[in-house]
């Protein structure tokens, strides 16, 4: 990695052994443990505007998911090592190593998919769960296939190796910055700290991590979707309190249901939540409203 700005001054740094290799994490604060899981195509840096405030009330852990940021990049085929179930086990390993058996989770985007699968698989470990701008994977695929949600990257990134890897590698900044621009409320990168963007560019400029991103989405199109369907078939539910926060300009309920409605209909019948005035990147585009909502719930 190049020399990048430290956006978490005062946070301890950890390299923690897991089945995937070493997972990178930062931590600080005191109080009940809370882990923050980032989304695609970002890293733990996406929490730099929220984590310090949350650390005034909680012991905060931010971590790079496998394949992202500074964490290990296990070589995989057909998404096998990037299922959300496997990535959830990394979270358990990190938190256990740091001395936390039961903890709160806030997840955004792909990190939220890891978070809700972890809550379903290991209910005894999760005290509270907050999910940012996400709906269940199986529900998203239904919407995409019905033409009800514009997300061509889901199909593109899940195509067989090496088609998307090769195409993205020809211009990773153009591809990923184009997605972030499209998903932001202002349709620009103006809301993002330039130092954070440098971290993101360093990650997605690595061909190994581009492959990991694709494997993440290949898992989403196969094993993750199947696992969701299996859980729904047996009426599995998240047993801890759940909060759903969604953006006004990305997951805006254009299918006739709000994201909160979808979660109540599927895995979290007692969920609470609200819309945040923002694009997809709530923690960076509107950290004040997002932080206030999270603190009120957590």
Structural domain contains residue 8: no
CA distances from 123 to 134, 167, 190 (A): 20, 40, 39
Structural domain contains residue 116: yes
Structural domain contains residue 2: no
Structural domain contains residue 7: no
**The predicted structure's pLDDT at residue 253:** 54
**Is the confidence at residue 140, as pLDDT, over 90?**
yes
**Is the confidence at residue 1, as pLDDT, over 60?**
no
Give the CATH number, domain containing residue 98.
3.40.50.1820
**The predicted structure's pLDDT at residue 219:** 98
- Which token pair is 216? 């993440």
Our count of domains for the chain comes to 1
Closest by CA to 122, choosing from 259, 275, 240, is 240
> Under DSSP, is residue 130 helix (H, G, I), strand (E, B) or coil?
strand
CB 256 within 8 Å of CB 140: no
Structural domain contains residue 1: no
- pLDDT tens sequence across 237-275: 999 999 999 999 888 655 689 999 999 999 999 999 999
CA distances from 45 to 1, 8, 49, 199 (A): 14, 8, 9, 7
Structural domain contains residue 4: no
Alpha helices in the chain (DSSP H): 51-54, 84-97, 110-121, 137-145, 152-157, 163-169, 172-183, 194-204, 207-221, 223-233, 259-265, 282-285, 287-297
Angle at 235 between CA 233 and CA 241, to 5 degrees: 140
Secondary element (H or E) of residue 40: none
Q: Which residues are catalytic?
A: 109, 280
pTM summary value: 0.97
Q: Domain range spanning residue 132? A: 13-297
Compute the average pLDDT of residues 122-145.
97
Structural domain contains residue 180: yes
Structural domain contains residue 252: yes
CA distance 41 to 126: 25
């Amino acid at each position: 990695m190049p020399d990048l700005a430290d956006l978490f001054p005062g946070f301890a740094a950890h390299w923690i052994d897991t089945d995937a290799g070493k997972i990178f994490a930062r931590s600080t604060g005191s109080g009940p443990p809370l882990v923050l899981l980032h989304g695609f195509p970002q890293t733990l840096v996406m929490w730099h505007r929220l984590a310090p405030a949350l650390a005034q009330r909680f012991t905060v852990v931010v971590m790079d998911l496998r394949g992202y940021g500074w964490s290990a990049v296990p070589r995989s085929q057909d998404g096998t090592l990037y299922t959300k179930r496997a990535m959830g086990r990394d979270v358990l390993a990190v938190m256990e190593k740091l001395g936390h058996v039961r903890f709160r989770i806030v997840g955004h985007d792909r990190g939220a998919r890891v978070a809700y699968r972890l809550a379903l698989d290991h209910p005894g470990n999760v005290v509270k769960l907050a999910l940012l701008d996400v709906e269940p994977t199986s529900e998203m695929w239904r919407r995409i296939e019905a033409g009800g949600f514009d997300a061509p990257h889901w199909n593109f990134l899940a195509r067989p190796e090496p088609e998307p890897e090769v195409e993205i590698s020809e211009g990773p900044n153009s591809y990923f910055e184009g997605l972030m621009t499209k998903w932001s409320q202002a349709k620009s990168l103006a809301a993002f700290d330039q130092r954070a963007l440098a971290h993101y560019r360093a990650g997605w400029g690595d061909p190994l991590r581009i492959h990991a991103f694709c494997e993440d989405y290949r898992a989403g199109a196969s094993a993750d979707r199947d696992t969701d369907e299996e859980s729904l078939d047996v009426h599995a539910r998240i047993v801890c309190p759940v909060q759903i926060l969604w953006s006004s300009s990305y997951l805006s309920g254009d299918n006739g249901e709000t994201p909160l409605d979808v979660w109540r209909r599927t895995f979290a019948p007692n969920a609470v939540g609200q819309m945040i005035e923002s694009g997809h990147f709530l923690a960076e585009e509107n950290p004040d409203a997002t932080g206030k909502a999270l603190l009120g719930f957590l």
